Amino acid sequence: MDWTPQVETLCAQLTEHYVFPEVGVEVAEILRKRLAAGAYSGISGDKAFAAAVTEDLQSVNGDKHLRLIHSVDEVPVDDPLDAALYAAEISLSGYGFARVERLPGNIGYIDTTMFCWPEMAGDRAVAAMTLVADTDALVFDVRRNRGGSPGMVALICSYFFGFDEPTHLNSIYWRETGHTNQAWTLPYVPGPRFGPSKPIYVLTSSLTFSGAEELAYDLQTRDRATIVGERTRGGANPGGRYYVGPHLKSAVPSGRAVNPVRGDNWEGVGVAPDIEATAEEAFGRAYGLALRHVLTLGEDGARRAVAAEAREALAAL
């Protein structure tokens, strides 16, 4: 099969949009050489073609955001992201919040799978944060979170700092405008804040990616959370979706994150945990630390039952 139209479309998108222009040109040249050498001629289906091209796209600098995506549903020409499909999908998946609860010992637990656009999922984030606001420590799970909206990251992080201490969380430089957008904690959030001093443990795995890595890195570099688990996947270059064919769309990063504390990001290296543990062990390690913290808060009055709960839960770990 002749994939020349798709390859040329993708090459044009790379040279126009990729955040590192010289790398975009280099990757486009690789795709053209691979096409000329017949590397794709034996591929007959969109799914296999997308997989083969993605491998070549990532061969220069390993950017995991840079890929060709196969879509079972037809890709809208004027909206390759397909906002309508995105809205339907997140409504059927808890808007990225898989589990929110108070664990024995008055420990909050939030398990997330993605960070959805706050204009669609902000009220769900507010509900989650309201439920855990009065817990004594929080375990925030991004082990299977594949990323998402920087705006949702900023909204959630705002609950972990005081209203009177605006905190610069992250910046994103965008190639197409040359502008750098800053993300700060919000001076007002709906509902109560978790607050700036109670312990937070962020659980990570080798699958934690993109916006989920940002949340971990934002909190780690501000000494606001302890990261427990595995080094994350390493993707810090956000971007958009572009039409390549009826069932093909590209993901081309046009921005790069810049941490305001360290001046770097987690691209290609991931976020290193403060406490290293396998993904399977991470919850138990973090929950144990949280329970031990609760036992330092006293056992008088209303805390008597909480301390008993914490002691029992700790013994069961």
- The DSSP annotation for 118-130 comes to HHHHHHHHHHHHH
Residues of the chain with CATH 3.90.226.10: 93-235+270-316
Q: Residue 143's pLDDT is what?
A: 98
Q: Residue 80's pLDDT is what?
A: 87
Return d(Cα 233, Cα 267) in angstroms, integer: 9
In contact, 228 and 248? CB cutoff 8 Å: no
Q: Give the amino acid at 173.
A: Y
Domain covering 93-235+270-316 assigned CATH 3.90.226.10 in the classification: yes
Q: Residue 79's pLDDT is what?
A: 87
Mean pLDDT rounded to a whole number for the chain? 97
Quick: pLDDT tens for 136-191.
999 999 999 999 999 999 999 999 999 999 999 999 999 999 999 999 999 999 99
User: What are phi and psi for residue 174, nearest 5 degrees?
Assistant: -110, 125
Return d(Cα 293, Cα 310) in angstroms, integer: 9
Return d(Cα 178, Cα 166) in angstroms, integer: 25
Handedness of CA 148, 151, 156, 161 (dihedral sign): positive
Cα 34 to Cα 2, 39, 40, 76: the distances in Å are: 12, 5, 7, 28
Neighbours of 21 (CB within 10 A): 13
Nearest to 222 by CA among 266, 261, 263: 261
Token duo for residue 19: 């955040």
Q: Residue 81's pLDDT is what?
A: 83
Task: List helix spans (H) across 37-162.
Answer: 46-57, 83-91, 118-132, 150-158
Token duo for residue 53: 């091209």
Q: How confident is the model at residue 286 (pLDDT cuts 50, 70, 90)?
A: very high
Quick: pLDDT tens for 196-251.
999 999 999 999 999 999 999 999 999 999 999 999 999 999 999 999 999 999 99
User: What are phi and psi for residue 301, nearest 5 degrees?
Assistant: 55, -130
User: What are phi and psi for residue 252, nearest 5 degrees?
Assistant: -120, 110
Return d(Cα 187, Cα 159) in angstroms, integer: 10
Q: How confident is the model at residue 74 (pLDDT cuts 50, 70, 90)?
A: very high
In contact, 52 and 42? CB cutoff 8 Å: no
As a whole-number percent, the residues of the chain with pLDDT over 90 amount to 98
Cα 275 to Cα 123, 214, 249, 287: the distances in Å are: 32, 18, 38, 13
